[in-house]
């Protein structure tokens, strides 16, 4: 079975400051890794994913995440946050062929003007 741990439930950060949202996973088999974002009263949107290849993946809005197999981590980073980044962020894993995402408990990012 897979599990995902998001170490911080809430992260406040000032606008234009950098941020890192931490995610660790546990799995006995290879998994694919995802970050989703949920804005208030909306569903989830895929931010980025790691399937294979380069361990650094980027999203179109400036977020990036690095897959670290030895530390079983997939931390999400952004060098400079905006007010519009205020949302809840979920890390997820999927075992190939399971058709099932296993999510972490989420991290609420609050960007302070």
Partner 1 sequence: KAGVTQTPRYLIKTRGQQVTLSCSPISGHRSVSWYQQTPGQGLQFLFEYFSETQRNKGNFPGRFSGRQFSNSRSEMNVSTLELGDSALYLCASSLTGTSAETQYFGPGTRLLVL
Interface with partner 1 by CB under 8 A: which residues?
32, 36, 41-46, 49, 51, 90, 92, 94, 96, 98-106
Distance CA 97, CA 3 (A): 17
Residue placing its CB nearer to partner 1 in the complex, 7 or 32: 32
Q: Residue length, the chain?
A: 113
Q: What is the closest distance, in whole angstroms, from the C-beta atom of residue 96 to partner 1 in the complex?
A: 6
Partners of 36 in the β-ladder: 46, 90
Tokens encoding 85: 């980044």
Q: Measure the CA–CA gap between 65 and 53, rounded to whole angstroms.
A: 13
**Least Å distance between CB 2 and partner 1?**
11
Q: Are 87 and 74 in contact (CB under 8 A)?
A: no
Measured from the CB atom, the residue of 40 and 113 that comes closer to partner 1 is 40
Using the minimum distance from each CB to partner 1, give the nearer residue, 78 or 106: 106
CB of 73: closest distance to partner 1 in angstroms?
19
* 28 vs 48: CA distance, rounded Å: 23
Which CB atom, from 17 or from 46, has the smaller least distance to partner 1? 46
From the CB of 100, what's the least distance to partner 1, in Å? 5
């Amino acid at each position: 079975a897979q599990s995902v741990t998001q170490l911080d439930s809430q992260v406040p950060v000032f606008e234009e400051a950098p941020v890192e949202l931490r995610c660790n996973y546990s799995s006995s088999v290879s998994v694919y890794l995802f970050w989703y974002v949920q804005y208030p009263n909306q569903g989830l949107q895929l931010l980025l994913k790691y399937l294979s290849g380069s361990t650094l993946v980027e999203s179109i809005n400036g977020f990036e995440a690095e897959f670290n197999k030895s530390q079983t981590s997939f931390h999400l980073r952004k060098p400079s946050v905006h007010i519009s980044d205020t949302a809840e962020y979920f890390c997820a894993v999927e075992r190939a062929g399971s058709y099932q995402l296993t999510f972490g408990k989420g991290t609420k990012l609050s960007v302070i003007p």
